[in-house]
């Protein structure tokens, strides 16, 4: 990829579809406690310099949800889409991960460390698939790549 004058390299990010298999498949999501306008999201964030994408997605899941028991199944999509607020270019790798069936149904996680989310509290929970409504920033757009039955039905959400 060439960087011409005025062309900025996209910020490289990862996003995690953490799936727990019970009676029905469930997706791990979270809400920012006290910031409802942020919307329901999946774990996602920037890749550090020199960090592999799989390492980055596992780190983001751990940082944002506290889960250390997830495993990467495979990468399912790469999305080039500008940031919804800043318009800055960004490239997000979406990954399919699995969580153990005995993972709790819901919990609050206080984010530590030095990242953008440090000090925030995330209310984590599992939602059965397919989702009843889209996630923030259409983060659910690629769920159908894992299983076509998991595609979000957007007919009722508008």
Q: Is the pLDDT of residue 157 over 50?
A: no
CA distance 117 to 29: 15
Q: Is the pLDDT of residue 81 over 80?
A: yes
pLDDT bin (cut points 50, 70, 90) of residue 83 is: confident
pLDDT of residue 2: 43
Q: What is the mean pLDDT of residues 86-104?
A: 95
pLDDT of residue 1: 42
Are 126 and 108 in contact, with CB atoms under 8 Å apart? Answer: no
The burial of 136, by beta-carbon neighbours within 10 Å (0-12 exposed, 13-18 middle, 19 or more buried), is given as middle
Q: Is the pLDDT of residue 67 over 90?
A: yes
Helix (H, G, I), strand (E, B) or coil at 78: strand
pLDDT bin (cut points 50, 70, 90) of residue 3 is: very low
CA distance 46 to 129: 26
76-83 long-range CB contacts below 8 Å, 24 or more apart?
A: 76/17, 76/142, 76/145, 76/146, 77/141, 77/142, 77/145, 79/141, 79/142, 80/10, 83/11
Q: Is the pLDDT of residue 100 over 80?
A: yes
Residues composing the chain = 158
Which fold would CATH assign to domain 20-147?
Nucleoside Triphosphate Pyrophosphohydrolase (3.90.79)
Share of the chain above pLDDT 90, in %: 75
Are 43 and 28 in contact, with CB atoms under 8 Å apart? Answer: yes
**Domain locations in the chain as residue ranges:** 20-147
Beta-strand runs (E) in 2-150: 11-21, 25-32, 44-46, 71-80, 90-99, 106-110, 121-128
């Amino acid at each position: 990829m060439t960087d011409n004058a005025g062309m900025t390299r996209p910020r490289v990010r990862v996003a995690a579809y953490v799936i727990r298999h019970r009676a029905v498949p469930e997706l791990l999501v979270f809400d920012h406690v006290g910031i409802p306008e942020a919307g329901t999201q999946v774990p996602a964030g920037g890749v550090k310099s020199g960090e592999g994408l799989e390492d980055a997605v596992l780190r983001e899941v751990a940082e944002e949800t506290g889960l250390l028991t997830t495993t990467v199944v495979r990468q399912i999509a790469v999305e080039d889409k500008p940031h919804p607020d800043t318009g800055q270019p960004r490239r997000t790798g979406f990954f399919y991960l699995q969580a153990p069936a005995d993972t709790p149904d819901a919990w609050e996680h206080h984010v530590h460390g030095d990242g953008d989310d440090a000090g925030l509290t995330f209310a984590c929970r599992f939602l059965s698939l397919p989702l009843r409504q889209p996630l923030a920033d259409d983060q659910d757009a690629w769920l159908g790549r894992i299983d076509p039955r998991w595609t979000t039905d957007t007919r009722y959400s508008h």
